Structures are given as structure tokens and as C-alpha cells.
Chain A
Amino acid sequence: IQLTQSPSSLSASVGDRVTITCRASQGISNYLAWYQQKPGIAPKLLIYAASTLHSGVPSRFSGSGSGTDFTLTISSLLPEDFATYYCQQLDTFPLTFGGGTKVEIK
């Protein structure tokens, strides 16, 4: 299953609302997770089951979608949110990841 993330990169300012999309090549129900990765550090889980916020993750992060189309939204960007975000499908082997979306400071 291919996961297509868009955009591949974006520039935004602190306080902006940011939306990242992830499209699956076939239906995956809600078997989708979102991760945040900063340079030199392992990915960290943000959202699982498409819309469930992982423990300890700030509520400005939210996820939605089901089937083939998913979104990750950051309601108001903070400086620590500048990072690369990946979606992952856990529906079918081989497990796959989206290509990533790099969120940069404008």
C-alpha cells in the first residue's frame, strides 16, 4: 500500500494552522498513525488509529480520516513543532510510511 503525503514541505509561521494530508492507494480503515521526527532523533508517536491522540501529545495536534484519506492538523504552530511528519499504515504487510512532510519556519 502506497502512502502519498502532501505537501512534501511547507513554510509556516508560529501561530499558523497547518494541515498535512496522507492518501493511501487502497482502503486501510483507520489503521493509520502519525509521527513527528526531529533531526538526529527517532520518530515519536503523535496520533494512532487515525484520530486518537497519544498520551502526552499536546491537544493542538489532531488527526482525522478513514479509508484512503487522512489529515494531520496542528491548530497553532509552536517553535518546537518545526520537524518532519510521517504517516504510517498498519493495515497490510509490508507496513509502509508516507514520504514525509517537512515543516519549516517561514
Chain B
Amino acid sequence: QLQLVQSGAEVEKPGASVKISCKASGYTFTMYFIHWVRQAPGQGLEWVGMINPRGGSPTYAQNFQGRVTMTRDTSTSTVSLELSSLRSEDTAVYYCARAGTYWFDPWGQGTLVTVSS
């Protein structure tokens, strides 16, 4: 069925990098953009950026410019998010979501990234 399945929880030290993945199934992978959204503990939703599975340059939120890289692998219908120079404020659940013009649906189950020394 239509779903996005994300990789498991990660624990990283400050200054390190983390890479998490999001595997799509149940639809044509190249037809919809994939966005990443994060949610710090007890906080709201923050847009990180998006990638077009067909190719082209991803679009990143300014807050993450220079630290974030999004990639896609059409052979496995997977997109990845890499965040570098991690700090404690990056501790959050990271979600991927399929996007249409007016919506995000479905969302992945979320990946908890914990940054701690």
C-alpha cells in the first residue's frame, strides 16, 4: 500500500553527521516531491526542505543551508537526508512526506535523531 518507511533511530555526538532514509512504495516514486519536516521534543513542525525524485537541485530551508543534503535513489525509491555539524538543538523527530500541490500525504513514521555527548 501507499507508504513511506523511514530508517531507525540514531544517536550522534555534537559535530557529527547523520544520514536517514525514507523508502517509498505503493505509487510511482518520480511523480511526487518528497519533503522533510522535523519536530523537536514537545515542539511544533519545522520544514527542512524538499527533493524532486526526478532530479534537479533540492530546495532547503535557509536555517539548514550548508548543513543539509538531500539525495534520491530511483532504483530503490528512496530519498535520504544528511545533516552535518550536529548540535543539541537538532535533536528531533525527522519526518519525510510525499507532497502534492496542496498537501503532504502520507508521512513517514518518523526517525528520532538524538544529539548528545
Interface positions of A (Cβ within 8 A of B): 30-33, 35, 42-45, 48-49, 52, 54, 86, 88, 90, 93-100
With A and B bound together, what is the CA distance between A44 and B104 in angstroms? 9
Chain B, residues 98-117, CB within 8 Å of chain A (1/0): the string is 01111111111110000000
Q: A35-B104, A42-B109, A45-B105 are in contact. List 20 more A-B contacts (CB 8 A).
A: A31-B102, A32-B102, A33-B103, A42-B95, A42-B107, A42-B110, A43-B95, A43-B104, A43-B107, A44-B107, A48-B103, A48-B105, A90-B99, A90-B103, A94-B62, A97-B44, A97-B46, A97-B47, A98-B44, A99-B44
Q: B40 to chain A: closest CB distance in Å?
A: 12
Query: What separation, in Å, do the CA atoms of A24 and B79 have in the docked complex?
Result: 31
CB nearest to B45 among chain A residues: A97
Measured CB to CB, the nearest residue on chain B to A31 is B102
- 18 pairs, CB–CB < 8 Å, chain A vs chain B: A31-B101, A31-B102, A35-B104, A42-B106, A42-B109, A43-B107, A44-B105, A45-B105, A45-B106, A48-B102, A52-B102, A90-B99, A94-B61, A95-B35, A95-B47, A97-B44, A97-B45, A100-B44
> Chain B interface (Cβ within 8 Å of chain A)?
35, 37, 44-47, 59, 61-62, 95, 99-110
